[in-house]
Structure 1
Amino acid sequence: MSSLQIKDSFTAFNQNTPGIGVIANFKGKTVYQDTLGLANCEHRIPIQPDSIFNLASVSKQFTGMAVLQLMEQGELGARDKLIRFVPELRHYADEVSIYELAHHSSGLTDYNDLLWQKARQNALHSDNAEVLSLLTQQEQLRFTPGSAFEYSNSNYVLLALIIERITGLSLRDYLKKYIFGVIGMENSTVFNEEQPVVPNRAYGYEQNGENWKCNYADTFATGTSNVLSSLEDLKKWDAALYGNQLLGEEAQRAIFTPGLDSSGRPLTEFWGGYSYGWMIQERCGAKTIWHTGGDAGFRSIIVRFYEQQFSVILLSNSASLDWSETYAFIERLFNEFGQAGI
């Protein structure tokens, strides 16, 4: 049994604060699991493996999977133009492709910046319709599509809209039918303007002096954020990515292939690469795909050391999560449990 405990590695949390949950999997088996703190501070409900967290930008990988599924089915092409599906943006985004949306090289302004310009603090309660309205009001891109990498949440909101327009399903219903339902993620959903009741839901918190401030939601935009899930369900997601329940082997290669600019060079070296909701990078001397998330008091990260079949999933309902402590903790887990897979 491991002597590694969350309480010894994360200084901001204890049994009376918002907290953190971690699960590490090796070749399909849970080799480490620990939780600390409260999912709901008002009712003093502790975090459990089935507590439901907002994954924030970790949500993008589910949108990416849906896009790849539609590509595999021939409903969508990587080089299809955005305006084929979203003609509202034809006056300035006519050259943006699906590939550029998925790899953050479209040149579209991040909708959060547009909302802040409107003095909408923290993008509160924006939804996809408002995001599209704001983007429609713009007159130009930030750069020529395909020429540079710039992370923009607008890209994945538009991908969600495209999924919905092709399938006739809301993103929530699409993911439930073709991803969550297929692999048994029974407690995962998409939180949007309908504000569904979600059993076992954790709430996000930020420190306000000596007290904690509860965040209900920063945004209702989907595709880019607002997948709600648990450690238990994300273990199923991780396991499914080794098989072909969701996507054939050839189509899956796109997840592990860094996006390229229009001249054939890697779009970003900072993260090693980016593709369909995953960062592609070497960590701890091993190849990984990974992503972080941060929104509404939540922080999340999934790191998949796929050659070792070792993964770490960490969910927190506190904006006080220290990323340096997080990365150090993941490295210790890899050194203790993941090395056996080399």
Structure 2
Amino acid sequence: MKMSFLKKTNIPQILFLILVLGSCGKDIKNREKEITTVEDTLPKMKPLGPEKKISQAYINSVAGRINHFYTKNWKNNSMNGGFLVAKNGQIIFEKYNGYADKNEGTTINADTPIHIASVSKVLTATAVLKLVNAGKLDLDQKVNTILKTFPYPECTVRMLLSHRSGMRNYAYFTDRDKSVWDRHNQLTNKDILELLATKDIGLEARTGTRFAYCNTNYAMLALIIEKITGLTYKEAMTQMIFKPLGMTHTFVFDWEKDRKTIVPSYKGNNVEIGLDYMDAVYGDKNIFSTPRDLLKFDRARNSPDFLKPELLKQVYTGYSNERKGTKNYGLGIRMINWETGQNFYFHNGWWHGYTSSYIPLQKENITIIALSNKFTRNTYAVRKLAPVFGDYPFNFKDEE
């Protein structure tokens, strides 16, 4: 009788547990399948195939001038960081110098990820452009059709990419008014959107009327990437760019996980600069990388599979020429357009003590990359190497 009673009472419970566990298993499998499906449908960067091999004679012909430039501008000024020059994806010159972390005594090498500051915008723009290229997004789509609470109805994706939204920089409207944001709290991209939607943050200029470089634009683009892909910005960038290109030392900074392990930055006098309340915002910044990884990224942007020709042309069209001049901005890339018809494309960055410069000399297939975790404006001087390779009116002699 006792055995019979146990069987009768346990069988329904066992069956229930089997059903529950089976259901959980199916949910996990379905979730994994869903994530895999999302990743499979993402447009991804593709590595550029083999390029024409450069000769040792060519390397010898330019290496001396590059080395002289490096020694005068960086090594003699205690440069902390990495510097790379390549042609056809093949490294001509490469140097690493200084401390990654002075307290721990670790030095910077080819595998040391450094915050690339606003050069992150080039990568964010690349992800957006890949989504446009795949038909998942339109350049002239209104932002409020994607981010429903976005309060500026005339602003488009193109305006965010080209800094023509008219928005104010989040660094200013969260820093100066405690009623808008308490700086004891970590600011996020979603917080910025919420503040724009609820705090009556006025525009700097009427939407679409003028160029004004503004980090808020790229914080919103990161949210658009998340909305379109269904992934976090970090996951989307990993799946679309970092992983396919083998950028194994590149990552999006995660405030919760990474803040105690990243390479810190320093003032020019070697005093460490701490993190602040804006260090969780991504899209405009917050990618860590190396010169070698960024070289892989640069060459992939030269792949025939990068973008359709008509879209690619729009990337390198200037959108900031209200007044006649040479300085301009495309879709995620700075440019100088001289009257001679020569064009120079680049993007610089500065965040805390980190400075960065990314220069693709497209006609010559030259890539110049400089990253530093100790503040110096010398990082930006690498543009003056351009005359070594082509007809660019920078004065190299100033650096000699």
Fold in common (TM above 0.5): yes
Q: In 2, Cα distance between the equivalents of 1:32 and 1:11? A: 14
The structure whose Rg is larger is: 2
After TM superposition, the structure 1 = structure 2 runs for residues 308-319 of structure 1, keeping only pairs within 5 Å, are: 308-319=364-375
- Provide the C-alpha distance between the structure 1 equivalents of 2:379 and 2:118, rounded to a whole number of angstroms: 17
Alignment of 1:136-147 (within 5 A): 136=197, 137-147=199-209
1:334 aligns with 2:378: no
2:351 paired residue number = 295
User: Would you tell me which structure has more strand in proportion to its own residues?
Assistant: 1
What corresponds to 2:10 in structure 1?
none
Q: Which residue of 1 aligns with 2:233?
A: 171
Q: Among residues 67, 73, 83, which one is paired with 1:9 in the alignment? A: 73
CA distance in structure 1 between the partners assigned to 2:182 and 2:80 by the alignment: 25
Aligned amino acid, residue 92 of structure 2: V
- What amino acid maps onto 1:230 in structure 2? T
AA in 2 matched with 1:289: Y
Q: Which moved more, 1:182-191 or 1:130-139?
A: 130-139
Tell me the C-alpha RMSD between the 2 structures: 2.8
The 1-side partners of 2:185 and 2:264 are apart by: 16
Are 2:331 and 1:276 aligned? Answer: yes
Q: Which residues of structure 2 form unaligned runs of 5+? A: 1-59, 393-400
Letter in 2 for 1:47: I
Q: 2:129 aligns with which of 68, 85, 92?
A: 68
Encode CA deviations 1:176-215: one digit per residue, 9 max, x unaligned.
Answer: 111111211122111133333797x4221124xx551233
Shift of 1:244: 3.2
Aligned pairs for 1:226-237 within 5 A: 226-237=286-297
- Deviation at residue 160 of structure 1 after TM alignment: 0.8
Distance 1:11-1:24 versus aligned 2 partners, 3 A rule: closer
Match of 1:258 among 300, 315, 318: 318
3-12 or 150-159: which moved more?
A: 3-12
1:33 corresponds in structure 2 to: 94
Runs of 5+ unmatched residues, structure 1: 261-265
TM-score of the aligned structures, taking structure 1 as reference length: 0.85
- Hey, which of these two has a bigger chunk of helix by percent? 2
Structure 2 vs 1, CA of residues 103 and 87 (structure 1 numbering), >3 Å: closer, same or farther?
same
Residues 271 and 182 (structure 1), Cα distance of their counterparts in 2 relative to 1, 3 Å cut: farther
Deviation at 1:153, TM superposition (A): 0.7
Selected match of 2:168 from 103, 109, 131: 109
For 2:353 and 2:185, locate their aligned partners in 1 and report how far apart those are by CA, in whole Å.
13
TM-score by length of 2: 0.73
Q: Distance in 2 between matches of 1:21 and 1:268?
A: 36
- How many residues are paired up? 322
Return the offset for 1:334. Answer: 3.0
- Give the letter aligned to residue 9 of structure 1: N
Aligned to 1:276, what secondary structure does the other structure show?
coil
Q: CA deviation at 1:296?
A: 2.3
> Cα gap change, 1:276/1:79 in structure 2, threshold over 3 Å: closer, same or farther?
same
More off after superposition, 112-121 vs 127-136: 112-121
Which piece of structure 1 moves more, 190-199 or 27-36? 190-199
User: Secondary structure at the residue paired with 2:297?
Assistant: helix
